[in-house]
């Protein structure tokens, strides 16, 4: 079983973003996760497609963007053109979320859905044929450094069961408050991709932090 580890770049030093990406790749990260926030859907404002495009040349690992933003349809092509191989949207933020998923696919990227802690899994059931990634948020979106919500573990288990039954092509991803001490529980519950943010940018260094996360992931695979 292969579990991929992504780095949420939200926690990086933005003044040296290119170097941060290069260091993450050298340290063994599997992909980069960009949290785009519009200060409307969530009370925070981060970066857009121009920043992502400027950073694309600094690493060869895949880019995934999570759009925490309202009505993103007109901008989706820009994120794909900026170098994002996978684009995740929030279903609550779109009047016609099917249209957003269609545009992402037509632009040549993989499409995904992100579910907030308070959003029921049933909201994604009719969208499964149109996506490759189902992101279960284990914190409320908007800010990094939040604590993992342990009551989301049953939701991860339910997501795993749902995709196993109806959409085995879909990867269950988990993002929010994940650390070496709790990532095994998320993997055991069904996560097949894991996003880590602030935990990768501590004083111990990226290589040590990534190694610790991958060790925790391996522990979860054993108990899965």
Please, which contacts does 69-76 make with residues 24 or more away whose CB atoms are closer than 8 Å? 69/36, 69/37, 69/38, 69/40, 69/41, 69/93, 70/38, 70/40, 70/41, 70/94, 71/95, 72/100, 73/99, 73/100, 73/103, 75/48, 75/49, 76/100, 76/103, 76/104, 76/107
Catalytic residue numbers, as ranges: 35, 175
| Three-state secondary structure call for residue 5 | strand
């Amino acid at each position: 079983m292969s579990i991929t580890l992504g780095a949420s770049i939200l926690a990086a030093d933005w003044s040296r973003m290119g170097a941060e990406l290069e260091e993450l790749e050298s340290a063994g990260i599997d992909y980069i996760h960009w949290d785009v926030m519009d200060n409307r859907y969530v009370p925070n404002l981060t970066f857009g497609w121009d920043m992502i495009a400027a950073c694309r040349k600094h690493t060869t690992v895949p880019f995934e963007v999570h759009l925490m933003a309202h009505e993103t349809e007109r901008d989706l092509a820009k994120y794909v053109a900026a170098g994002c191989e996978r684009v995740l949207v929030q279903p609550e933020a779109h009047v016609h979320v099917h249209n957003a998923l269609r545009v992402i696919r037509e632009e040549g990227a993989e499409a995904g859905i992100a579910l907030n802690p308070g959003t029921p899994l049933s909201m994604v059931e009719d969208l499964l044929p149109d996506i490759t990634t189902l992101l279960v948020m284990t914190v409320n979106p908007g800010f990094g450094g939040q604590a993992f919500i342990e009551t989301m573990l049953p939701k991860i288990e339910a997501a795993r069961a749902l995709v196993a039954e109806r959409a085995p092509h879909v990867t269950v991803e988990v993002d929010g408050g994940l650390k070496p001490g709790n990532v095994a529980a998320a993997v055991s519950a069904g996560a097949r991709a894991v996003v880590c943010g602030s935990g990768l940018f501590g004083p111990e260094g990226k290589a040590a932090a990534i190694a610790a996360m991958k060790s925790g992931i391996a522990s979860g695979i054993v108990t899965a």
